[in-house]
Amino acid sequence: MPYTRRSGVRIHYRVIGRGSPLVLVHGYSSSGLTNWVSSGWVELLAAHHTLLVPDLRGHGRSQKPYTTASYSVRALAEDVLAVMDREGFCSAPVFGYSMGGMVALELLLTHPDRVEAAIIGGMGSYFPRARGRFSVERQTAESTAPRRKPVELARFLGEYLSQFDPIAMDRVFRGVFRGNQPVDLTRLHEIHVPVLVAAGTRDPFFAPARDLAASIPGARFVPLADEGHLSAIRNPIFRAEVEAFLDRLDAGLAQEVATQ
């Protein structure tokens, strides 16, 4: 797995697939492996896209500094830019889930020339009240997300725990979340690329995600019925909506090239 450095921090990432570029940004305490590979997104999208899948600092196989000052949404966004630069991605759509959605929003506002479009899942324009550091929930009986078999769940938990560093996670939380907000609300009107926002109706971030989409010009919101924060990532409607969104982007780009 290749790596690069940003501000002295070693950042690991994956490059998978063939086709138009797409950047996948994982959530808090997750990684490229547990957020995107284990959930099936990489297998789904790699057939038509060259996927750039970084492990943000403090996560996965990337370096895990033990200082709060090493972590901020801007630092995480710079990690994404570093791997894009390393692989020659001048610009690309960015798909961020949970904390990765915060990173996608940061990139949209601070580096709009690098983001062709954005998909934001499980994140909104503000933090819900009484949120915890980690999402612990039981998948509802009504959920349509595929359920992991015991062997698959055991493998997933093994992968998750093998890359989890509690000290680094505490520093990430303090630097990224504590006392902060997901995005500067006063600047959302500046976003003028296609944006798709989705969240489970049982996710604490559902209302913040719905409000986020309403604040971004032209953004579309997809409610995922009976899904929580953890199950929504595997919801089949979410996957179909993302595929359709990316197909429209590719079709629009092809038409633009044809008219030049």
Q: From the CA atom positions of the chain, what is the Rg in Å? A: 17
Those residues whose C-beta lies under 8 Å from the C-beta of residue 190, and which sit 6 or more positions away, are 109, 112
Classify residue 183 as exposed, middle or buried by CB count within 10 Å of its CB (0-12, 13-18, 19+).
Answer: buried
Note whether 72 and 175 are within 8 A (CB): yes
Residues 102-110 have a mean pLDDT of 98
Q: What integer best gives the mean pLDDT of the chain?
A: 92
Q: What is the pLDDT of residue 109?
A: 98
| Residue 143, in any domain of the structure | no
* Strands in the chain per DSSP E: 3-6, 9-16, 20-25, 49-54, 92-97, 115-121, 195-200, 220-224
| Residue 149, in any domain of the structure | no
| Residue 142, in any domain of the structure | no
Residue from 247, 150, 242 nearest 234 by CA: 242
Q: 3-class DSSP state for residue 257?
A: helix
Question: At 184, which CATH number?
Answer: 3.40.50.1820
Q: What is the pLDDT of residue 62?
A: 97
| Residue 206, in any domain of the structure | yes
Given a cut of 90, is residue 158 above it in pLDDT?
Answer: no
Type of residue at 108: L
Given a cut of 60, is residue 190 above it in pLDDT?
Answer: yes
Residues 214-230 have a mean pLDDT of 97
| Residue 141, in any domain of the structure | no
Neighbours of 257 (CB within 10 A): 8
CA–CA dist 73, 112 (Å, integer): 16
Give the residue numbers spanning the domain of 85.
3-129+166-258
Given a cut of 70, is residue 132 above it in pLDDT?
Answer: no
Q: Any idea which of 132-141, 171-180, 243-252 has the lowest mean pLDDT? A: 132-141
Q: Give tens-digit pLDDT for 67-81.
A: 999 999 999 999 999
Query: What pTM, to 2 d.p., does this model score?
Result: 0.92
Q: Give tens-digit pLDDT for 205-221.
A: 999 999 999 999 999 99
Q: Which two tokens stand for residue 6?
A: 């940003």
| Residue 63, in any domain of the structure | yes
| Residue 155, in any domain of the structure | no
CA–CA dist 168, 218 (Å, integer): 37
Specify the number of domains making up the chain.
Answer: 1
| Residue 156, in any domain of the structure | no
Residue from 79, 44, 86, 74 nearest 61 by CA: 79
Q: 3-class DSSP state for residue 164?
A: coil
Given a cut of 60, is residue 256 above it in pLDDT?
Answer: no
CA–CA dist 112, 91 (Å, integer): 9
